[in-house]
Structure 1
């Protein structure tokens, strides 16, 4: 659990550094981008190792039907995340699509995982994403981008389904079957 918590703290610190200490981050220049990226990579590695190595402490027993809700929410999360890069007519519908996608991802995983390590990991990511939105909204104004070509929305749907399938395959490869039996 220690590595998991260190990874979470490193993740939050690396993401919030630019917002909470903008002068210090600016002094680092381009070299700072590499250091932040390295910190984020290290945080992911620590979170994965810490999560997989944490003792299983069951806190609650999720009902089996939650798997269906999780999978639907995950499909939505991939779509919402993709809104940040779309050039279709849906561009600019949401101010923080990536952070909203993280919140959806976290809630989806909290619905199907009742163990302590899951609550720590996914709960902290939910809190972090909400905090990040609040900090960004306070610091920056936003100008909604103009919508693009509606035909590009189809590409977003295809990429969403393919990415969801790849992620499900990776979960299966890691020994976590994401679909009900």
Structure 2
């Protein structure tokens, strides 16, 4: 469990620098240069991610149950992950009205993903992992939207055809992940027994 906690602190910490220490972050970018900063940032984030994955895997071997979620929560979680995938695609497919409206679809998608998994899982490791991501994504979303407003950022209006592409790609990705990749990558089938 310690590796999971350390990984979360490292991964979410490095992803919170712009929110919690923007002046320090900017000093480091100026001191190191943008590309070396990005390389160091990526390396630290990767170390945190590896610790999260390893620590969560270890915690699943001897889980500490806080509650036993009813079976129906898996179905609710599956529904909540649909907008998570659509928002993830909206973050990377430019020109959609959805991205223009939401502003930071990746963070909103993480919130849906984390909430879905909190509902369907009841161990201490789940609470730490998904709860940590939910708290971080909520704080980051609020911070980024405030920063956008203060900067006077006005997003482009977007095109409806791009929204259609976002939804289709998001749904197809969700189906592939839910039916095949989740079991292969995570070791559990969302719709399995």
**Normalized against structure 1, the TM-score is what?**
0.90
1:128 Cα deviation after fit: 0.8
Corresponding residue for residue 182 of structure 2: 171
- RMSD over equivalenced CA pairs, Å: 1.8
Question: Does residue 76 of structure 2 align to residue 58 of structure 1?
Answer: no
Corresponding residue for 1:41?
Answer: 46
1:18-167 to 2 correspondence within 5 Å? 18-26=18-26, 27-30=31-34, 31-54=36-59, 55-85=62-92, 86-141=94-149, 142-167=152-177
CA contact (8 A) 1:25 1:32 kept: no
| Aligned pairs, number | 181
CA–CA distance in 1 between the matches of 2:42 and 2:77?
29
Report how far residue 140 of structure 1 moved: 4.1
Contact preservation (8 Å) 1:95, 1:144 = no
Residues 72-128 of structure 1, C-alpha deviations (whole Å, 9 max, x = no match): 100111112222234233331112211111111110000110011001100011111
Unpaired stretches in structure 2, ≥5 consecutive residues: none
CA distance in 2, matches of 1:15, 1:73: 24
Instruction: Please report how far the alpha carbon of residue 49 of structure 1 lies from its aligned counterpart in structure 2 after TM superposition.
Output: 0.5
- Comparing 36-45 with 19-28, greater Cα deviation is found at 19-28
Structure 1 spans left out of the alignment, 5+ residues? none
